[in-house]
Amino acid sequence: MPAEIKALIDGLALRERTLVLLAASTGLRQSEIFGLKWGDIDFERGTMSVIRSIVYGVVGPCKTESSQKPVPMHPTLADALTQWRKRCTYIRPEDWVFASKRYRGRRPYWGQAILRKYIRPVAQRVGIQKRFGWHTFRHTYSTLLRSVGTEFKVMQELLRHSSFRSTLDVYTQAVTPAKHAAQAAVISLVFSSDKDGTQSLLDKRPQKGTKRARNVPFSRPRWFQ
């Protein structure tokens, strides 16, 4: 998974590379990514403030109060944003980070169009055949946080969930090696013979001398009648 993200980022142009790096390294939602303005980014402190979102062209507050907490910004992301800013026409604090030239900076780019026209074709060229969307990067971010042993409380703050339950319910569904191992242990108990010679549940046969019940009439329980 990290290798796929790296391959995708390496194959993208600056704008799309910055977008994917931003999504994959912060877990921001699509509406939050395209709702960013240059004034929200603090390059000195290495943080960004997520205070608005944009959905179908309508600007509004973030999903929850927790969503508006500052987000850490890795130096790699800060460098990508710095390079992108040098290419931008609209760089005032009140300008969109991903301002659309078509609308003369009054609106940000349309995320789904960029995904469809630029990012997915590059993904296919580098061998990524699975279909993905902006939320996939958020899910991947949470999965990678879990894989490196991040505490759930820290995950909750990084993903800006309003409750601890949300972090547990939505972002722990990945099939990890630990889950495979646990499943294999259960299967081995059920279907395999143990060291003492206990028979598999599917391979138990009547012992010699045991009479099989024949022609026993079926009696329905009262609750079934």
- Closest to 26 (Cα-Cα) out of 46, 54, 4, 52: 46
pLDDT tens track for 88-114: 999 999 999 999 999 999 999 999 999
Whether the predicted pLDDT of 225 surpasses 50: no
Tell me the mean pLDDT in the region 131-150: 86
Whether the predicted pLDDT of 27 surpasses 70: yes
**Which residues are CB-contacts of 55 (< 8 A; sequence separation ≥ 6)?**
31
Do the beta carbons of residue 28 and residue 40 sit within 8 Å? no
* Helix, coil or strand: residue 104: coil
DSSP notation for 151-176: -HHHHHHHHT-SSHHHHHHHS--S--
Provide the pLDDT for residue 141. 86
* Distance of alpha carbon 3 from alpha carbon 167, whole angstroms: 25
pLDDT tens track for 74-88: 999 999 999 999 999
Tell me the mean pLDDT in the region 132-139: 92
Higher pLDDT, 162 or 100: 100
Q: What's the one-letter identity of residue 141?
A: Y
**Pairing of the two strands 47-48 and 71-72:** antiparallel
Higher pLDDT, 69 or 140: 140
pLDDT tens track for 167-212: 555 444 544 555 556 556 655 655 554 454 444 434 444 455 545 4
* Distance of alpha carbon 53 from alpha carbon 130, whole angstroms: 27
Of the ranges 37-41, 121-125, 159-163, 188-192, which one carries the lowest mean pLDDT score?
Answer: 188-192
Higher pLDDT, 39 or 149: 39
CATH code reported for the domain at 2-134? 1.10.443.10
